[in-house]
Amino acid sequence: MAFAAFVIAGVLLLGVLPLKLAATWLGAERTGWIVCLFAGIVAGLTSSALNQRVPFGFVIACLISAVVYKLFLGTTYLRAVLIVLLQLVLLVVVAIVLFLVAPSLLGLVGIKSGPSQ
């Protein structure tokens, strides 16, 4: 049960928090958790479809994600592009922090990490 809570928290922290922070900092109209979650899901689906089929798919996927964010978050296209870029930077930062903090958090709830003896 505790592991499921960590998985849900990880998905929210890695998937939604960077988008929510970037959208809030850059002045998007809609920055709620649910809106950011759905915007991230739609952008992720379009990005994954493009990355597999198109050369330079990452760049095109970022531009398409900006269109999705423009529609969902109520912002201009230029701000949406900046949201995509800032989201990527924040995603890396949050992932590094979680990587460093997760073992101690798992130990607090009784889940052992590391090699078993």
Share of the chain above pLDDT 70, in %: 83
> What's the domain count of the chain?
1
Residue-range definition of the domain harbouring residue 44: 18-106
Cα torsion for 65, 69, 70, 76, to the nearest 10°?
-90
Write the pLDDT tens digit of every residue in 71-90.
999 999 999 999 999 999 99
- Residue 111 lies inside a defined structural domain of this protein: no
- Residue 114 lies inside a defined structural domain of this protein: no
Give the position of tokens 């939604």.
16
pTM for the full model? Answer: 0.77
